[in-house]
Amino acid sequence: MTGPTPKPWIMEIAPYVPGRSTTDDGRKVAKLSSNENPLGTSPHARAAFESAAGRLERYPDASGTELREVLAAKYGLDPARIIYGNGSDEVLHLAAGAFAGPGDEVIFVHYGFAVYEIAARRVGATVVVAPEKDYATDVDAILACVTERTRIVYIANPNNPTGTYASREEIARLHAGLRSDILLVLDHAYAEYIEGDAGDGGMALAETAPNVLVTRTFSKMYGLAAERIGWGYAAAPIIEAMHRIRLPFSITIAGTAAAIAALGDTGFVEHTKAHNAQWRRWFSDEIAKLGNAGLRAVPSQANFVLVLFEGELSAEAAYKGLMDAGYIVRWLPGQGLPHGLRITIGTEDETRGVAAALRKLAGAD
């Protein structure tokens, strides 16, 4: 007797591989594999989370009213046009669910975030992969992939796993080159880490354009990855369509309380941003000193750095060597990067330690 047959497009999905937290032999080591906040979480967020323990028997507010209102006030948005989900991952899935299906095409870049491919394939859409230019998002290459079947373009800006950033002008040019019936999803999971520029203009586009969805998360800068709170902003018809397929209670009371408190703790956010900028720069400089050994850091505006191994030391050997030295980083052969390691900026000790271990592996000591 045979059991039920999964849809063929489901079986074409390569399962998501999360960042590891233990070594092969089960040792607990520094986890620099999931771009989490090395400074933890705002104490206000933790207190708010704990205060929710008295309400465990209650369902959360299915319309997320308080979260939407707080976000709208903070960013000057219309609360009716905010959607939220179980991490921004859910919001990314809702976009595919509402706007793509069998026969439709969904575009993202080769070194893109793995969730876009899963979200597109889940709904039976065809994935179209655009090449990068030296690891950075190439607007012309994306526009060249557009056909009459294109329904969605997903861009992470800054991008994961490359850390590269497309300027406001480039994003405007991408948007201008797309038909208005194509949904442009701008994934701003790392937007808080951008230095210098105030942002890529995505929110302003989402405010006025009929076809732009910006997604944000509490998992990275706000240090709330465990609580799974993400959100998005777009024109009302986009949000309305996505709400129809959203799980009614996808965000929890405790997570929502923690997110609202975290949003108010600007000191924690500023501190995290300054820490990240300082150690990202320091780490990238350290990698530059290993250029003779073929190591190269891709310029990053996020909370991690993609290190390329173009000499004798391979990324795979470095990955294993770092694990032996007590650091778990992300090796990404499944994402077309067998020659790269994505390394999260950790605490000062972790960042100095992983740089020293890489120096040793590269034979520079």
Residues in contact with ligand PLP by the rule CB under 6 A: 35, 87-89, 113, 156, 160, 187, 189, 217, 219-220, 225, 230
Residue 294 C-beta: closest distance to ligand PLP, Å: 27
Which CB, 49 or 113, lies closer to ligand PLP? Answer: 113
Helix ranges (DSSP H) in 209-252: 236-245
- Residue identified by tokens 């194509």 is 182
Which CB, 221 or 238, lies closer to ligand PLP? Answer: 221
Residue 191 C-beta: closest distance to ligand PLP, Å: 10
Residue 113 C-beta: closest distance to ligand PLP, Å: 4
Count Cα atoms within 13 angstroms, Cβ side, for 284: 17
d(CA 276, CA 273): 5
Residue 292 C-beta: closest distance to ligand PLP, Å: 31
Residue 187 C-beta: closest distance to ligand PLP, Å: 5
Which CB, 86 or 351, lies closer to ligand PLP? Answer: 86
Which CB, 110 or 359, lies closer to ligand PLP? Answer: 110
d(CA 202, CA 181): 17
Q: Which residue is nearest to ligand PLP (CB)?
A: 87
d(CA 114, CA 91): 14
Which CB, 33 or 160, lies closer to ligand PLP? Answer: 160
d(CA 124, CA 127): 9
d(CA 158, CA 187): 8
Order across the sheet with 105-109: list the strands: 82-86, 229-233, 212-217, 183-187, 150-156, 105-109, 126-130
